């Protein structure tokens, strides 16, 4: 039976009196891979930071991996959540090797000299890099990698602790077409692998939804437009309301495309 991994119950987050998230209820279960869609400022990254135990809600109840946020020491729990974000990439020293970037996830660190790593740790990091298509980059400096290669290295990093939940905050942002397609293909392979934990992917674009993702959450101005199985959520009506645009939505061979509806 499916087990609850994340639960938001009427969750709000306010900054200076303004609600970035407003009464959001949402649940992620085992066997599900979610995509969170919405325009800039819709609350996507805030939602992910709360799910990652990096931010507390202003109101509402959040449960992650059977623990209620605010009633648990999150320092130990965070190791069970794999998180990849742009801020993390910017915080990593450019001269670290790709393998070192992956290994530092074991202790939630940004530098390898603070902790001790075994030969088995290095082997696992190399195996994970190979799994995401970067097997030949283990000794390359992180700063010399392409944007797409860096994102795949960070994806390998999220897997290093054998987490129970993967959270990916706009991993395709800033990638060229080739880099984007390579990353989407890698995420699709992960989604279709039976041992992969539940994933939550934040993006602006339906074109970046990997085949194999099962559910969708649409946010607009901090509120839920639609949530549930992807085929039910991704409709022209829901997506048009989410982005406040008249949109035409198509799906071909498992990939989605959206464009603005034009009038003759």
150-155's contacts with Cβ under 8 Å and 24+ in sequence apart are: 150/89, 151/84, 151/89, 151/175, 151/179, 151/183, 152/182, 152/183, 152/186, 153/98, 153/101, 153/102, 153/129, 154/84, 154/88, 154/89, 154/101, 155/84, 155/183, 155/186, 155/187, 155/190
From 211, 243, 217, select the one nearest 232 (Cα to Cα): 217
- Residue 2, pLDDT score: 67
| Domain regions of the chain by residue span | 4-260
Q: Categorise residue 235: left if φ over 0, alpha if ψ from -120 to 50, beta otherwise.
A: beta
Q: How confident is the model at residue 184 (pLDDT cuts 50, 70, 90)?
A: very high
- Residue 1, pLDDT score: 63
> Could you report the per-residue pLDDT of 223-263, keeping only the tens digit for each?
999 999 999 999 999 999 999 999 999 998 889 999 998 86
The CATH homologous superfamily for domain 4-260 is P-loop containing nucleotide triphosphate hydrolases (3.40.50.300)
* Global pTM value: 0.91
- Residue 237, pLDDT score: 96
């Amino acid at each position: 039976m499916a087990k609850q991994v994340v639960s938001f119950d009427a969750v709000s987050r306010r900054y200076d009196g303004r609600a970035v998230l407003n009464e959001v209820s949402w649940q992620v279960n085992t066997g599900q891979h979610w995509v969170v869609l919405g325009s800039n400022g819709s609350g996507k990254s805030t939602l992910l930071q709360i799910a990652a135990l990096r931010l507390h809600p202003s109101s509402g109840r959040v449960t992650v991996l059977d623990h209620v946020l605010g009633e648990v020491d999150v320092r130990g729990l965070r190791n069970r959540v794999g998180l990849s974000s742009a801020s993390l990439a910017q915080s990593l020293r450019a001269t670290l090797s790709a393998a070192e970037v992956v290994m530092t996830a074991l202790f939630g660190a940004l530098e390898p000299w603070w902790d001790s790593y075994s030969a088995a740790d290095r082997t696992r990091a190399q195996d994970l890099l190979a799994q995401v298509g970067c097997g030949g980059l283990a000794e390359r400096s992180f700063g010399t990698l392409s944007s797409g290669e860096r994102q795949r290295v960070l994806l390998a990093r999220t897997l290093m602790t054998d987490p129970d939940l993967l959270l990916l905050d706009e991993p395709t942002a800033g990638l060229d077409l080739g880099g984007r397609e390579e990353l989407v293909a890698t995420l699709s392979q992960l989604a279709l692998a039976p041992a992969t934990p539940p994933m939550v992917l934040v993006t602006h674009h339906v074109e970046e939804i990997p085949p194999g993702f099962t559910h969708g959450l649409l946010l607009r101005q901090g509120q839920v437009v639609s949530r549930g199985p992807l085929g039910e959520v991704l409709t022209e009506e829901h997506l048009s309301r989410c982005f406040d645009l008249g949109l035409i939505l198509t799906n071909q061979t498992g990939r989605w495309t959206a464009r603005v509806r034009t009038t003759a």
